[in-house]
Amino acid sequence: MFTHCLPSKLVILINAVCFQLVWWAGVLAHNQLILLSILLLICHFLLSKSVRHDALVMCVCGAIGITVDSLLVWFGVFKFDNMPYWLGLLWLYFALCLDYSLALFRKFPLLLQALLGGIFGCLSYLAGAKFDAVMLPLGEVWSGLILVLIWSCLFPVLLIISSRITTVDLALEDGR
């Protein structure tokens, strides 16, 4: 059942820490630690009070992120030695953060969401490149500019989508 209240501070903290674990596991070990990421995803759903809602947000927003990164590979902005399954799992967990540890960004003006999304989304990939998790054939400057532009749009859009899914869920719940 979807709760009307905000998640507790502990749930938000656990969500943020688990996302960091998934990020570091992927960036440092690539596909070698995907089992850890899968287990953290499973644990999220075992602890969730809103499994259906979280699954919907994860599937919709995760699919958008995976599609964006796939297009970046196709256009030659990213290059990977092996299929980065870890990156798909990272997107799925990032999507789960939208209603938990990243939900506070919904209160920010759209311009600030775009600015923060552009900066931190870009920095995440540049940091990943420093750890050899991703190669940037266009170089750091061009790749960084592309990522800032993409993440300036993508982050606010994902926040809006997750918020709309929440609104629809609440309306459906009220109609019961």
Categorise residue 44: left if φ over 0, alpha if ψ from -120 to 50, beta otherwise.
alpha
Percent of the chain with pLDDT over 90: 85
pLDDT tens, position by position, 97-109:
999 999 999 999 9
Q: Is the pLDDT of residue 45 over 90?
A: yes
State how far the Cα of 23 lies from the Cα of 37, in Å rounded to an integer.
Answer: 9
The phi-psi region of residue 3 (left if phi > 0; otherwise alpha if psi is between -120 and 50; otherwise beta) is: beta
Dist. CA 58–CA 62, nearest whole Å: 5
- What is the reported pLDDT for 172? 66
pLDDT for res 168:
75
> pLDDT by residue (tens digit) across 61-78?
999 999 999 999 999 999
Q: What is the pTM of this model?
A: 0.91
pLDDT band at 42 (very low <50, low <70, confident <90, very high): very high
Under 8 Å between Cβ of 80 and 30:
no
CB neighbours of residue 116 within 10 Å:
16
- For the cut 80, the answer to whether the pLDDT of residue 5 exceeds it is no
State the Cα–Cα distance between residues 145 and 103, nearest whole angstrom: 26
pLDDT tens per residue, range 114-169? 999 999 999 999 999 999 999 999 999 999 999 999 999 999 999 999 999 988 77
d(CA 23, CA 124): 9
